Structure 1
């Protein structure tokens, strides 16, 4: 079993979503192509406004944070995360959180200056041929980086360079995205190694893309070293503009994972003994004393349903993951192939 944490220190995880893939909304209406901006040139307010309008129709504006220049801060309940868009599209998006910083290089061919526009979007119109780039800090401590393919002349493949905290690596999350992880213990550095506890510092959500009619457009990632490439598969029927997004959410949670054997062992216990067994196998692994104590209380209260979930997973020969809040409440669970 592994202890998996979101954000900040060893009991925290910078959750969800850093490079590509995020929440989506419909992109309605085809916008006229924005005028190209030469390297370093500040786009006109009308060009920036049009670029922001397309993006914000795709993402919505309810979760956007107020911008201070090119920066915006979100809160996760236990800390502030500051997202800063670069001065030009040639720079990096920075996410500064307690004890963990990450950055993402934007895909571009020109150093177009970033302009704050719309309800809270920094845009880089025509940063690449027929392509606008945008960055959105959100109120929940996230960074969205968006690519708008304005017409069929736009490139459909975009590279994002990653700068991760020292000692971390990307691992697949089983849902077409990646986790930014750091291993501790005897098995550190060996994927799935015995005795390994895994700290999750961040996550790259599964990619998404939407066309002008709100229809999902197939898209995927390829990881090559510190470069993440997103490809959008447009067809003759695709309505432009198409918007695709990478996002980083910051939230502190603890992720507990159970192997097939652990799942089967816990599924065999009676409902009366389940909480005691699970406390030893799960809660004792949480390095934060408050969360460990809360986990025990939560197990007692949820023993019946959690045991039933373990039994379902055991029958399917699957592993189980619990999401535990920083005070020990089990807020979610899932089973997965392993």
Structure 2
């Protein structure tokens, strides 16, 4: 089980400090509603202030890239290298016929391109990117997102 770093958000869309405390066997989410100093100015929260903790459990592994990392990857041809390395697996002894090899190459290259396009969409929307793998290391999905405590600069 994983509990991500908490973050609150005001009605104005400003992130607001939050933290966890443990009281016996209870995990408590605390959002500090006191005024904060931001860029030399005192700011008070615009209500309502919400905090949605994200708790995950299971066999998935999430790899997340920040806004800056997503921009960097979107602007680079790294998908070509990933695609080439992944395509090498299409020549393995378990993929025997030319048709199977062709399908494998097509799937690998289309998937690499789609993931690259996801990084570009994240870049264009000032967002972050997430790739999900199952417990065996197999690719299980990907997405771009902007609203989450894990999407940082």
Structure with higher strand content = 1
TM range (shorter): 0.3 to 0.5
TM-score of the two chains, using structure 1 as the length reference: 0.22
Structure with higher helix content = 2
